Every structure is written in structure tokens, then in C-alpha cells.
Amino acid sequence: MMKHLKTFAGLALILTLGACGGGGGGSSGPSNGGTPQPTPVPTPTPTPVPSCSNNSTNPPACDNFQATVPAASYTAGSYEAKAFEQLNAVRKAMGIGLLAQSAALDTAAASHRAYGVQNDVCNNDPGAIDPATGLMKHHSEQPGLPGYTGSTPILRANAAGYGGTVATEVATCASTTDPRADLAWYLSSVYHRLPLLDPGLRDLGMKIVVPASNEGIVTGNVVNFGYKTTQQPTPASYLGTYPTAGQSDVSLIFEYASENPNPLPDLSPATQRFVGNPVSIHAEVGKLLIVDSFTLSVANNPVPVRLLTKQSDVNGLGGHVAFIVPLAPLMPGTTYTAKFTGTIDGASRSKEWSFTTVAASMQLSPAGDQTITSIETLPIQIKTPSGLYTARVMDIQQSADEPIPASIDREASRLVIRGKGGAVGTTVFTIQVNDTVYPEFVTTFRVTVTP
């Protein structure tokens, strides 16, 4: 059964050309005796001002905006590679600068994860405040403990050679069956979403590990962000959103009580484990965004939401951002429309945009009934609308009286059937898989294990 775990949350110039009018030779006037005519002065053609990625005409701001970044060195197909690609795709869609991989921040993230494992931080009240730093224990380190590299994210980053001015991090606790390795979890949250989408940050580094079966609950991943001397510039008149306009395959759910701090402390996870993926609108950090109206609808039918702003959020949300949290999970394969009206530093702003959620389907790969020998291993990738699944063995049929010749291990996004060897007869497992949040998405298949 899945464990439900806490997650802590060049210079361009316009040149004007001068032109001189000229008379004729040494004569006092034209030979025709008429009124002297001035020599036409050509109209100068302005040198075009280069277009900045952030619509700025200030060259330093233009130069410092990371419209592109070097390719990352993460292993192809790894959690880190997928997260790097996913996050920068979102930031590009929002119109903010991309994040560049930092080897030093990668090292700092790996070291902090190792510290969490060595000191069993996730099993010892990780959300408690460390009085020495004012941070949650999950984001702090104590001198003298194994694996210590720095008390705070900036100290750990600079100990790894970053040489930065600012560093921050997000991190999770995870288990073998719940690695929280996909960056989608952070994006489908409230407070942990913010550093991922901060326009001023420049660099990131991460360490994402699916825990081994004997590790229990551990620090599953750490993602560090920072900049060395100057922030990235924010685009002019910035008003960003997540999900972004026209985005598809948007996640459906938010397990609110697993975020620390909890943005909806008045709700009971015992009776309502999930709400919908939050919708957020972002102004430039440091500006004040005031909401007059912020709504979500499907085909003009309103969706019940909770508004979170600096004024209403119990945990001190920043004044540049606002969230609406759907009070029920979003529906798969559905287009939602968000509408915002309000002000940013007193100037009226409005925005309307739509996005579409993940498809209303469940996918298994390989699909259908399968056959393996008792010395083989069969991984079955499972994709459900909510991203969560439940599996159960409905029936076992054996042709010989012998021990069960295979184990069935449930991991975060796959089932793994592992043969134990030595089978005498044939064993047939009937397995049912359904979406944890939307149980109407269900499928049944058989796995036959032969000698």
C-alpha cells in the first residue's frame, strides 16, 4: 500500500547621419538664373534595436535574460533529465528565463539528500523548525552530524563551489512505492511551486533517487535553485500563469496535506485526501497583486475554489502571487477556463486563459496478458489519469502444489513481477489495477509464470 508522506515544501545605437547641401562649382548661382534649389537630404534609416527576449530595450537586461541554456548533462531518460526538460518548458511557456544546470548545485543537492538518509531526517519530524536556522529540519543540517556540508541551502551550495548570492531548495520525503520523483508533484502544489517559477533564479541542480527497498522512508529528492550575482530580469508587464495558456496534459490532483506547510489546514485528509491542481497567477516578485476576481469554470459552469492570497493565506504567501485551489480533483480530458481581474501595484490587469487536463484513459505497457518463466522479471509501466494506482491480486491458479514462484512488487509507476526460480508447474496470477482517485478507470490482466 502506498505510504502518504510529508513533502517540504552589446550595446545598440541609433545613428543619425548629417548631410551637407552643395552649390555649383565657383559660380554664384545656377546657369538658368532661377532660385537656387537645395540638395535633397536623404532620410536616415535608423539602426534597428535588437529584440530582447524579455521585451526590454535595456541592453543589460536583454543580455542577462536566459532565453536559451546549454544542454544538461543528466543521463538521458533519468528523472533529472526529465525534470530539467519539463521545468524549462514550463518557464518558456510562461515567458520567463530558463534555468541552467549547475554542477555545484547538483553536488549540493546530492550531499543534502545523503545527509537526510544518514540521519533519518524524514522519520524524525522533518517539518519541525530548526531554531539554529529558522528553517524546517528538512532544509537544515546540524554541524557534527554525519554528512554535514552546511546549515542552510546557500552554505551548502557555496561549500560545493557555487559561489552564489542566493540559493533555495525544495525537497521531499519518499519511499520505494512513492518516490515523488516527478517534478509534476512540485508544480501541482502551492508553496513548492513558487521557486520553480521564480523569474529571477538562474541555475538549478538536483538529485532524484527512487529509494531502494530496504531504505524505508527517506529524502527522495532535492532540487536547488540560485543565482550568483544578479537575478534574471522579469519580462516587461509580466503576468504569468500556471497552468499556462493552452497547456495540455495538466495534472489533476493536489495532495494538500502532504505539503508542509499545509495550505488548507481546515480540511481533513482523513475524509478528503485530494483537491484539484491549483491554478496560480504571478506578477514580478516584489510587486503587489490584488485580486478583484479569480475564477475557474468548465463550459461556463463555475468550479468551486479556495482563493489564496497574501491577505488570506495562513502561511504568509507572497504579495506577488495568487492561487485558486479547486475543492475537488479536476476531471480528466477536460478543458478549464480561468479568469483574473485585479491590479498590480495599482495598475488594472486582467487575463483569461484555458488549459486541458490529462487524457481520460489508463495505459499499461506492456498491455494485456503476459507470460514469463520463473527466472525472468516483468516490469509493467502503469499510467493513470491521477498518476496514482492501486493493484491487487484477484486470483492465483497453480498446476502444481508448490510455493508461489514469483513476487509482485508495487513501485511508484510500475508493477514488477519477479520470478523466484525453481518452478515445477504453471502459475497464473489475475491482477486488477485501478486509478486510486478515479476508480472507474480499471483493468484486469493475467500473468502466467512457467518453469
Domains and CATH numbers, the chain: 1-9+50-234 (3.40.33.10), 237-358 (2.60.40.3780), 363-450 (2.60.40.1080)
pLDDT in tens, 40-83: 434 444 444 444 554 545 444 555 889 999 999 999 988 899 89
Rounded to two decimals, the pTM is 0.82
pLDDT value at residue 327: 97
Helices then strands, each counted (H, E), the chain: 6, 26
d(CA 429, CA 445): 8
d(CA 60, CA 63): 5
Q: Are strands 275-276 and 279-282 parallel, antiparallel or unpaired?
A: unpaired
Q: Mark residue 231 as left, alpha or beta (left: phi above 0; alpha: psi -120 to 50; beta: remaining).
A: beta
pLDDT value at residue 235: 87
Residues of the chain with pLDDT under 70: 1-63, 175-182, 211-219
State the cell numbers at 146: 554525519
Residue spans of beta strands (DSSP E) within 345-388 = 347-356, 363-365, 370-373, 377-383
Encode 345-374: b = buried (16+ Cβ within 10 Å), e = exposed: eeeebeeebebbbbeeebebeeeeebebeb
Looking at beta carbons, which pairs linking 65-68 to residues 24 or more positions away fall under 8 Å?
A: 65/97, 65/232, 65/233, 66/97, 66/98, 66/99, 66/100, 66/202, 66/232, 67/97, 67/98, 68/98
**226, 201 in Cβ contact below 8 A?**
yes
d(CA 250, CA 79): 19
d(CA 58, CA 13): 12
pLDDT in tens, 125-149: 888 999 999 999 999 999 999 999 9
Q: Are strands 406-410 and 253-254 parallel, antiparallel or unpaired?
A: unpaired
